[in-house]
Chain A
């Protein structure tokens, strides 16, 4: 999984290059017959993070349409596992196949070419074609909003962040978090520890504990287990979560969480497939969606966040929906280099390849 997600970061960048070369084949897709989805889960539905959020989205889609979408758990990112599972569903007459991992992308592309009448959608995926859509959320937007809560909560002006690996998708949450925190508290510094693992509670606890010793009094996270929130609660400080509402694990500590809400994106898309207006080919490198498109959102806020800050967060959320970009220049990195010029915003390619941290972040993305 570690390697696969490393590949994700590297491939994302290269894929974007190819993607622009492929002219958009703008031919809308229409489902033959009634929609009959099936879902391939990357992990178990109770993993507490990514896959559980997928499953919770499935339940909401079920409720909306009155369905009971069949799913299969633990389909790893290997073609030999994906193909038989997907093809079995297709043979049973399912015409919408959903994936749930970056590594499902290539196998889904193959399937999409083989079965042009079936619609394929992959949260976390990057491939697409006339009947295949990869989607990922701009997760820096919710982290920006939760960062605002963190900035308001800190008294020591030191915030901690437990991150997984220094990839673009993680670095942008770290940077977005600091921009948010500085919005409510300009004196904040953000101490980030990359654990080098997505799902290692031992390393996450060590990292969170080390941050507490540094005097941070809010801990944000972009790792899979709720351990950093639990450490925050043990130490009587605050935290903000990732993937799901982590108040479930640390009700006193967790004040804000980044959430995956795929149902809000997928329900209208399924309706488009039925009406024949779904056009995934129009976005050659997959759909890179904003907070107001669904995909991700925040659970905000806990009791400790003052009401005026909650209002501020909500109005910023509305501003993001209105087209505001989190990474609006001028932005300087840790060395003081101007990374985003005044009045400009980074391109999506720059975001995927983000390998720098903002001035005010203590920590490093250096890997070797």
Chain B
């Protein structure tokens, strides 16, 4: 019972960075941009969040704002390279991973291993105390509730606004979108910037809330998991939230099983999130339904009047 309560209570904490980064990547990829640099942008968000928090008098809001701005800036840079300069998206993304690792390692030194406590979970009398599900629903920190709202906004934006429709059109068929009078480059730059902001938020949350510390290369592949999560979710914000909770649930479960003394093999447990991803990918590929494919123009640069 306690086990279940604790496990559920910590699941959203581990899920949030994955969800936020996946939402950002969905916005990117819906506009046809394949941003593999999430790992690097997330690291920069993690560092900038901690720096802003520690240097500006311990204000977590400022920490998050700067993490988001850092992510947006890097996302815009990525967009500038691939949209305006038309560099290869895959290579540029991977470059951003190493740029993020190197940059945070270089300038992050003074802020490494500084312990702090940025924000605490909320407590609502009665509601938080409900057995098992109380802390899961009503005992999280504010950023998690904000992320849920953001997921709703991303969904509303993509599917229920004219701008979202145009953005998706750019990702499906930029030639047609351009012919229809949509500014393809502008939309892609916008998507890259918004996407980067989400990834920066994910990084800031990882250092400010999940780990409560910054160390070099602390993302440890979580940016890549977010990339996989987007495919897992078939480019839908809702399935990204569900998938993130599943992954977060596994990450929260593993140490609890070990601490409770279950004799489970270490590397098998660590493998489970990836095994689950593979299984879902295979399942999704076998039962592909309309509207669940990758955006058609994903990863391809758009050059006006270029022969197709």
Residue ranges of A at the interface with B (Cβ–Cβ < 8 Å): 44, 46-48, 160, 165-166, 191-197, 199-203, 205-207, 209-211, 213-214, 224-227, 230, 233-234, 249-250, 362-368
B206 & A202 in contact (Cβ 8 Å cutoff): yes
- Ordered by A's residue number, 12 sampled pairs between the chains whose C-beta atoms are within 8 Å are A44-B109, A46-B109, A166-B266, A193-B259, A194-B266, A199-B218, A201-B218, A210-B6, A210-B259, A211-B259, A213-B6, A365-B266
Q: Which residues of B contact A203 (CB under 8 A)?
A: 220, 255
A225 & B255 in contact (Cβ 8 Å cutoff): no
A196 to B264: give the CA distance in the assembly, Å: 13
Expressed in whole angstroms, the minimum distance between the Cβ of A216 and any Cβ of chain B is 8
Q: Which residues of A contact B218 (CB under 8 A)?
A: 199-202
A362 & B10 in contact (Cβ 8 Å cutoff): no
Known A-B contacts: A202-B211, A205-B212, A250-B115. Give 11 more (CB < 8 A).
A44-B109, A160-B259, A165-B266, A191-B259, A196-B270, A199-B217, A207-B258, A227-B212, A234-B117, A368-B265, A368-B266
Q: Which residues of B contact A46 (CB under 8 A)?
A: 109-110, 112
Given contacts A193-B258, A225-B113, A249-B113, contact A205 B210 (CB under 8 A): yes
Q: Which residues of B contact A201 (CB under 8 A)?
A: 211-213, 215, 218
Expressed in whole angstroms, the minimum distance between the Cβ of B207 and any Cβ of chain A is 8
Cβ of B2 under 8 Å from chain A: yes
Cβ of B187 under 8 Å from chain A: no
Number of A-B contacts (CB under 8 A): 115
Contact with A along B223-242 (1 / 0, CB 8 A): 00000000000000000000
Residue ranges of B at the interface with A (Cβ–Cβ < 8 Å): 2-3, 6, 10, 14, 105, 109-110, 112-113, 115, 117, 206, 210-213, 215-218, 220, 222, 251-252, 254-256, 258-261, 263-268, 270
* The one of A196, A226, A227 that contacts B266, using a Cβ cutoff of 8 Å: A196
Expressed in whole angstroms, the minimum distance between the Cβ of B53 and any Cβ of chain A is 15
A230 to B214: give the CA distance in the assembly, Å: 13
Q: Chain A residue with minimal CB distance to B115?
A: A230
Nearest 5 CB-CB pairings of A with B: A48-B113, A201-B211, A362-B261, A210-B259, A210-B255
A197 & B220 in contact (Cβ 8 Å cutoff): yes
A230 to B210: give the CA distance in the assembly, Å: 13
A210 to B110: give the CA distance in the assembly, Å: 30
**Chain B at the A interface: mostly helix, strand, loop or mixed?**
helix
A230 & B255 in contact (Cβ 8 Å cutoff): no
Expressed in whole angstroms, the minimum distance between the Cβ of A165 and any Cβ of chain B is 8
B115 & A226 in contact (Cβ 8 Å cutoff): yes
Most chain A CB within 10 A, of B3, B218, B258, is at B258
A362 to B255: give the CA distance in the assembly, Å: 13
B267 & A367 in contact (Cβ 8 Å cutoff): yes
Q: Which residues of A contact B105 (CB under 8 A)?
A: 44
B215 & A206 in contact (Cβ 8 Å cutoff): no
A191 to B259: give the CA distance in the assembly, Å: 6
A203 to B213: give the CA distance in the assembly, Å: 12
A366 to B261: give the CA distance in the assembly, Å: 12
A196 & B267 in contact (Cβ 8 Å cutoff): yes
Q: Which residues of B contact A211 (CB under 8 A)?
A: 259
Q: Which residues of B contact A206 (CB under 8 A)?
A: 10, 14, 251-252, 254-255
Q: Which residues of B contact A230 (CB under 8 A)?
A: 115, 212-213
Q: Chain A residue with minimal CB distance to B262?
A: A364
A248 to B92: give the CA distance in the assembly, Å: 40
Expressed in whole angstroms, the minimum distance between the Cβ of A12 and any Cβ of chain B is 19
Q: Which residues of A contact B261 (CB under 8 A)?
A: 191, 362-363
B213 & A225 in contact (Cβ 8 Å cutoff): yes
Q: Which residues of B contact A368 (CB under 8 A)?
A: 265-268
Given contacts A201-B215, A201-B218, A227-B211, contact A366 B113 (CB under 8 A): no
Expressed in whole angstroms, the minimum distance between the Cβ of A111 and any Cβ of chain B is 27
Q: Chain B residue with minimal CB distance to A203?
A: B255
A256 to B256: give the CA distance in the assembly, Å: 26
Q: Which residues of B contact A226 (CB under 8 A)?
A: 113, 115, 213
Q: Chain B residue with minimal CB distance to A189?
A: B261
Q: Which residues of A contact B252 (CB under 8 A)?
A: 206
Q: Which residues of A contact B266 (CB under 8 A)?
A: 165-166, 194, 196, 364-368
B115 & A195 in contact (Cβ 8 Å cutoff): no
A202 & B210 in contact (Cβ 8 Å cutoff): yes
Expressed in whole angstroms, the minimum distance between the Cβ of A42 and any Cβ of chain B is 13
A227 to B214: give the CA distance in the assembly, Å: 10
A66 to B100: give the CA distance in the assembly, Å: 39
Q: Which residues of A contact B109 (CB under 8 A)?
A: 44, 46
